[in-house]
Amino acid sequence: MNVTFGVALAQIIDVNWLDYMLRWDPRKYNDIKVVRLPYNEVWKPDILLYNNADVSSSISSVSTNVIVGHDGNVTWLSMWIFKSSCSMDVRYFPFDVQNCSMDFASWTFDGYQMNIVNIGSQGDLSNYVPSSEWELIQFNFKRHVITFSCCPEPYIFMKYHIVVKRRPLFYLFNMVMPCILITLVALLGFYMPSDSGEKISMGITTLLSMTVFLMIVAERLPPVSDTVPLIGLYYGITIALVSFATGMNVFTLNIHHKGGRGIEVPSSIKKVFFGFIARMLFIKLDLPGHPPEPGMQKVPTGDYYCYEAEQAEGTENGGISPRFARKVRTVPTDLCEKQFMRVLHKVNQTIERNEMRLAEQDRRDYIKQEWQQLALVVDRLLMVLFTMVLICVTMSLLVPGDSYSGTGEELVQKH
């Protein structure tokens, strides 16, 4: 018995066979050439889907009639929704291509008793309704004749291959774009001034946001452990980048406040960061040439004189009595040297302490400014490096490659 079998995707099952017991001569029956009979009153081939994933489905639930011709040709157009098992390859999600197959064969008849042939070379797509999530690339079949070890008779399997490609716009807009924006916000933490006090909190907030999005992505994917999907790998790398960026913010904050210890920036670090990296990143530094040295300036000294005079009486208008001018005379410094030098020494000590304190304060301010400028250069350098790494990771993981492009045959070979 020859049974012609065909599948129309998302529409109908077309099964034709020749029943020699249902032949008649139309001339004997008022020229009736075709009759329609209930499906449960006619013999039907037990062609089933071998990789069926829906155990509740039953062929008896189909209530379409069977079309019987006078020559014994029986056609059964059956509406049926198949749920077939298919191994998913989510390695390139959301740029994945899935190659699934549906195996149809008789459950009890071998190839000698029932010869299954296909209607055409490919499946029927005339009534196919395109999906908003999947793009159909290929729908063809291949006839297999298999001999099992238990039985010498061959068995015929009709294997229909369905190659579909995922439309990634939904996932790019709802999962990838927020991830990129959150990562950019985390990288902007390097541009935030260290005195603001919000660099660490921004990094932790963005890290929590990335973790929430990673949980959403995990719910959308099948729980497989053999491969990690691209979008999961991208989220993992970006979370690592954000975590490392938060750690680097702690490092730059330590550099920013290191000047309070009074330790100068090493000359080799100055040469690299202030001399080369700052110019490469177009950073204009506001630093004096050298730090001020603590000490006291020398005050020129000369000859000192003491003046001795009698008690002078003041005039009515507050002036000095003429007697004073006549009795004033200069005396060499050796007569009052002890008292004068003692007072002068105290004044010099006070001035020296003040000058040393001011010079030390200026030196510490200069050192603080140096470390702050070094933290600024390190922040800008890390921001540039992290931005370059983010661009490279995004381009390498989220830009469709050769595995997502090509014709149907090429995609079948790749997947």
Query: Each residue of 139-151: pLDDT tens digit?
Result: 888 888 888 887 7
C-alpha span between 5 and 123 (Å, rounded): 10
pTM: 0.64
Asked if residue 354 belongs to a domain, the reply is no
Cα torsion 254, 255, 257, 260 to 10°: value is: 120
Element of type H or E holding 411? helix 408-414
Q: Is residue 253 part of a domain?
A: yes
| 144 and 176 co-located in one domain | no
Claim to verify: residue 155 and residue 176 sit in the same structural domain: no
Task: State percent of the chain over pLDDT 90.
Answer: 2
Task: Please tell me whether residues 226 and 245 are part of one structural domain.
Answer: yes
What is the model's pLDDT at position 2?
Answer: 66
- Parent domain of 151: 2-168
Distance CA 415, CA 404 (A): 10
The domain spanning residue 208 has which CATH number? 1.20.58.390
When computed from its CA atoms, the radius of gyration of the chain, rounded to whole angstroms, is 47
pLDDT of residue 398: 77
Residue 8, pLDDT score: 58
In the chain, which residues have pLDDT < 70?
1-14, 55-63, 120-121, 287-337, 400-415
Q: Does residue 369 lie within any of the structural domains?
A: no
Q: DSSP assignment, residue 113?
A: T
Last residue of a domain, one of 145, 168, 191: 168
pLDDT of residue 251: 87
Residue 207 lies in a domain: yes
Residue 170, CA atoms < 13 Å, CB-side half-sphere: 9
Q: DSSP string covering 240-273, please?
A: HHHHHHHHHHHHHHHHHTGGGGTPPPPHHHIIII
Strands 71-79 and 66-69: antiparallel
Same domain, 137 and 29: yes
Q: Are residues 19 and 140 both part of a single domain?
A: yes
CA-wise closest residue to 134 among 110, 166, 105:
166
For the stretch 367-397, pLDDT in tens is: 888 888 888 888 889 889 988 998 898 888 8
Beta-carbon-side half-sphere exposure of residue 192 (alpha carbons within 13 Å): 22
The predicted pLDDT at position 144 comes to 85
Together in a domain, 51 and 15: yes
Same domain, 110 and 49: yes
Is residue 153 domain-resident?
A: yes
| Type of residue at 410 | E
Q: Which residues in 148-192 belong to E strands, given as ranges?
A: 154-166
Residue 78 bridge partners (DSSP) = 13
Query: Do residue 10 and residue 116 come from a single domain?
Result: yes
Distance of CA 45 to the CA centre of its chain: 53
Q: How many domains does the chain have?
A: 2
Q: Return d(Cα 99, Cα 338) in angstroms, integer.
A: 108
- How are beta strands 134-147 and 71-79 bridged, if at all? unpaired
Provide the 3-class DSSP secondary structure of residue 96. Answer: coil
pLDDT tens across 165-201, in order? 888 888 888 888 888 888 888 888 888 887 777 788 8
Residue 305 in domain? no
